[in-house]
Amino acid sequence: MKKLFSSLAVVVLILGIFAPSVLADSHDQNAMLRVLHASPDAPAVDVYLNDEAVVEGAEFKAATDYMEVPAGEHTVEIYAAGTKGEQDPVISTTVNVEAGMAYTAAAIDNLENIQLKAIQDSMEATEGMAKVRVGHFIPGAPAVDVGPIGGDDLFSGAEFPMVTDYMEIDPGSYDLEVRTTDGTQLIDLSGTNLEAGKVYSAFAVGTADNPEVLLLQDSAAMPTMMPATGLGGTADSSSNAWMYAALLGVLAMGAGFMLTRKRSEA
Amino acid sequence: MVRKLFPLALGLLVFFISFQWLNEEPVEDPRVLSTSETTRTQGVEVKKESIVTDQLEKAPVKQNYKPAVHASSEQYGITPDRIEIPTIDVDASIQALGYTPDGGMAVPKSLTDVGWFEPGTMPGNQGNSVIAGHVDGNSGPAVFYDLKDLSPGDEIHVYDENTKLTFEVSRIESYPYKNAPIREIFGPTNTRNLNLITCTGPYDDEASTYSERLAVFTVLTDRQEL
């Protein structure tokens, strides 16, 4: 009888070893960060985050997708491409990011005055609406309005290097323009298509003579869960595991009986 | 007495051990967040010489450089009605679907149709459009059963009445069901992507679903008027 108890003890011990461990969800601790090169006369750059290369050879008008970074303070250094270790960075600064938030770090102004502007990005639009904001990153250009061609302003009086608040508008195709506050068109944005559930940042970049707009997506409509795309008909499901385990168990039991019987015969 | 009990206990022991072994849960590593892969492909030498704290050193930072898109750039998203994947002989109808009552992504009841996440991006537009299909039903394979056999470079065609869009597989990942990077699959991006989802990994009887999801990431390469 003692043997039985010790065997059971072993079973319990082994079950303990196989007990599933609970893993923390690492995504919750992170923030999202993207980098935009909006300095019209700056060279292609490498971007280092905490001394680690995250972007290589990004030219003017390049933007990264969002990168997942831990919450907290990060050192951001921007070097002319390939010059780390040989030259000083053109920008060296820190950016503080909160968990669960998204940010854009934009290198703005002419090379002479280049600086990093960090802004927080919206991660949600009302269902069925599009959400948009405008950033004025054209050094030396006057204050601008943005609105439909021949229509009222959606955004007024944006000055360098300002980023407006977000505004929710109906999704659809818009013939927008960026114009000076006296109505002169600077940039034609005819056929700008804004989708429902999306959040956009329209950053005006370039020079006063050669302005253009980068339309970045800050967010999109997302489900809270992945889809349930299988019913298990072809799976090695756990019922199979039960079967195989039972089979092995019975085999072992049989072997045990044989063994004890042989011993008693001997 | 002992002679009869010993083999019984042995059998029980083997049963439990083998059950645990056969039924083992997949390792829940967040496999997406490594720097090393992308860093290597771009030939970047990552130097770590200075005052980086431990937390930051282990931090997931994904190198992710893409060109930005212009506002005036053409948007040519379509409402897709058919998907064709020649490599794995898929030719299926597409249903436009939204959310489940819980806020998840809905999928067709049909095992032969696939579902496009309609509240998200239209295939062809800038952003991540998403199409999901079943891997199997109660008794046999379904439309996306062979999705796991795709490899980078394979082509996917999506149609509406007048247009054929071609996407190319860039990478394939699998994620634990409850810990998938939703924002990376459905969220904002500068490129025109189509991501395909189906189930994979061992079946979890308790949760009545597969324990992992397969995500095939593809990028738009061509657009033809039919």
Min CA distance, B226 vs chain A (Å)? 23
Size (chain A), residues: 266
Res. B9: pLDDT tops 90: no
Minimum Cα–Cα distance from A64: chain B residue = B65
Q: What is the pLDDT of residue A240?
A: 58
Closest chain A residue to B38, measured at CA: A54
Q: What is the pLDDT of residue B37?
A: 34
Q: Given B56, B72, B204, which is nearest A70 (Cβ)?
A: B56
- Class of the domain covering A124-221: mainly beta
Computed over every residue of chain B, the mean pLDDT equals: 79
| DSSP code string of A125-186 | --TT-EEEEEEE--TTPPPEEEEETTS--SEEEE-TT-BPPPEEE--EEEEEEEEETTS-EE
Output the CA–CA distances (angstroms, integers) from residue A260 to A92, A266, B7, B9, in the order listed.
Answer: 77, 10, 8, 13
Look at residue B22 in the predicted model and tell me its pLDDT.
Answer: 58
B 153-182 → A contacts, CB under 8 A: 175, 177, 179-182
Domains A31-121 and A124-221 share a fold: yes
Q: Among A193, A199, A256, whose Cβ lies nearest the Cβ of B10?
A: A256
- pLDDT tens figures, A139-168: 999 999 999 999 999 999 999 999 999 999
Q: Which of A116-125, A133-142, B18-27, B132-141 has the lowest mean pLDDT?
A: B18-27
Residue ranges of B 80-99 with Cβ closer than 8 A to chain A: 99
pLDDT of B13: 81
Report ipTM for this prediction: 0.72
CA-nearest residue to A45 within chain B is B65
- Structure confidence at residue B46 (pLDDT): 35
Percent of chain B at pLDDT > 70 equals 73
Structural domains of chain B, with CATH: 71-225 (2.40.260.10)
Q: Do the Cβ atoms of A229 and B198 come within 8 Å?
A: yes
Which residues of B are marked as active site? 134, 199
Q: Which two tokens stand for residue B64?
A: 């992710």
Contact yes or no for A234 and B136 at CB 8 A: yes
CB–CB contact A238 B202 (8 Å): yes
Kindly determine whether residue A70 and residue B75, on different chains, have CB atoms separated by under 8 Å.
Answer: no
H runs (alpha helix) in chain A: 2-18, 238-265
Residues of chain A with pLDDT under 50: 12-13, 15-25, 238
Which among A94, A112, A96, A92 is positioned nearest to A46, based on CA atoms? A92
Residue B43 has pLDDT above 50, yes or no: no
Tell me how far apart the alpha carbons of residues B50 and A50 are, in angstroms, rounded to a whole number. 9
Q: Which residues of B touch A215 (CB under 8 A)?
A: 69-71, 73, 126
> Does residue B127 or residue A255 have the better pLDDT?
B127
Question: What's the average model confidence in pLDDT over B73-82?
Answer: 83
Candidates 2.30.30, 2.60.40, 3.20.20, 1.10.3470; correct CATH number of A31-121?
A: 2.60.40
Q: How distant is the Cα of A78 from the closest Cα of chain B, in angstroms?
A: 14
Domain boundaries, chain A: 31-121, 124-221
**CA-only gyration radius of chain B, Å:** 22
In the three-class reduction of DSSP (H, G, I as helix; E, B as strand; rest coil), residue B35 is classed as coil
